[in-house]
Amino acid sequence: MREANSLILHHVIVHVLDKTMDSPLFADYEQEITEEIHDLLEKHIVRSLKDDDNRIAKFISGPNVVRDNCDAILYEEDNFVESSKKIAQHLFTSIKNNGNASSGDLVICIYSVENIKYVALLKMDYRKSYVHDIEYVEDKFKVSIIPQEIGLPGAGQRLQKCAFIKLYEANEEYDLVILDKQQSSDKENEVANFFVKDFLNSNILVDSKDKTKMFKNITEKWVRSQLRQDIDQATKVRDALSNNLKKEEEINVRNFVEEAMEGSEEIKNDYIDHLNNSGFQVTDFEVNKPWVEKKLKKKSIKTDTGFDIKNDRECFDDNLKFKVKRNGDGTVDLIIKNVTFFKEK
């Protein structure tokens, strides 16, 4: 469901959710799917499904407006227009109940990937854009720039909130994929979490991709904060991190700590405390290889002396091309080896 590179749109409808109004403006007719509209929405859907921040989720048990109406749509597409209105009304109510939630258009699509149909809910937040206005004044043309307050995200822009829903089956691992760029880890932050909780009535799940991403990001943040003055130890931890992520199917965090921080109980304890305080359970977890292959393909080094070095990670790992030389005084030399030609830009 998250691996789509292309898709087919079958039905599209747009409802206007302007919170300054007392009720939504419901469309009674579907959007015509021209080649340009198909290209626009396909790009938004594919990009959002591939976004590193999307999460899988389960609907909370009990009546659920979104789940029940998406099921109605997927079981019988003649329900599309009326069921889409019920979903739009539910989102409008959630927006009105959360003062800082933004107005926007709700684009609801039925699309298919490899003959399996899904529902996409795309919240298109308004963006200010500008157009020219042409007037004919006293036999002369007057051209002015005027603002448009309800511009929609273009194909090159990213959506903040959207959901992708499959036919509900109680025993499935997950029911939907959610992208919410404004979601907060603070459970009390109702405005940030209204889309996931109030509207979708769902619980975010933590899968292997999330755990792998969290482990790498939390470790790198700790290295930058705590090992800034110990470049040898920082290099050792980073090497152990990348080697474990690339080579291991499963990582035992305790074993990783012993390997990466051998001989320093103080550093080990500080790192474990950092993991715990960041909400990461210190236990075994499965490494998500597709995420690792994507994220560890490239490597970038930025030094305190002003140099940026970027290349494929395999070039950094090749001893014939690159070497880190420790000087014994807390500094290192980064050596690019065996160069026969270079050019300046």
Record the tokens describing residue 231, joined without a space. 């470049």
Q: Which residues contact 15 (CB under 8 A, 6 or more apart)?
A: 24, 25, 26, 27, 84, 85, 88, 105, 106, 108
pLDDT confidence of residue 186 = 52
Record the tokens describing residue 114, joined without a space. 């490899």
pLDDT confidence of residue 91 = 95
pLDDT confidence of residue 64 = 94
- Element spanning 232, H or E: helix 231-247
Could you tell me if 58 and 202 are in contact, meaning their C-beta atoms sit under 8 angstroms apart?
Answer: yes
Beta bridge partners, 250, equal 286
> CA–CA separation, 34 vs 40, rounded Å?
10
* pLDDT string in tens for the chain (345-residue length): 777 888 999 999 999 999 889 999 999 999 999 999 999 999 999 999 999 889 999 999 889 999 999 999 999 999 999 999 999 999 999 998 887 888 899 999 999 999 999 999 999 887 767 778 888 888 888 888 876 767 677 777 788 999 999 998 878 889 999 999 876 555 444 445 789 999 999 999 988 988 999 999 999 999 998 888 888 888 889 889 999 998 999 999 989 998 988 777 888 899 999 998 888 877 889 999 988 888 888 888 888 888 898 888 888 888 888 888 888 777 888 989 888 888 887
| pTM higher than the cut 0.85 | no
> CA–CA separation, 258 vs 108, rounded Å?
50
Could you tell me if 94 and 199 are in contact, meaning their C-beta atoms sit under 8 angstroms apart?
Answer: yes
Burial class (CB in 10 A: 0-12, 13-18, 19+), 130: exposed
pLDDT confidence of residue 191 = 47
User: Looking at residue 184, what DSSP letter applies?
Assistant: -
E strand spans, 126-264: 127-137, 140-151, 161-165, 176-180, 202-204, 250-252
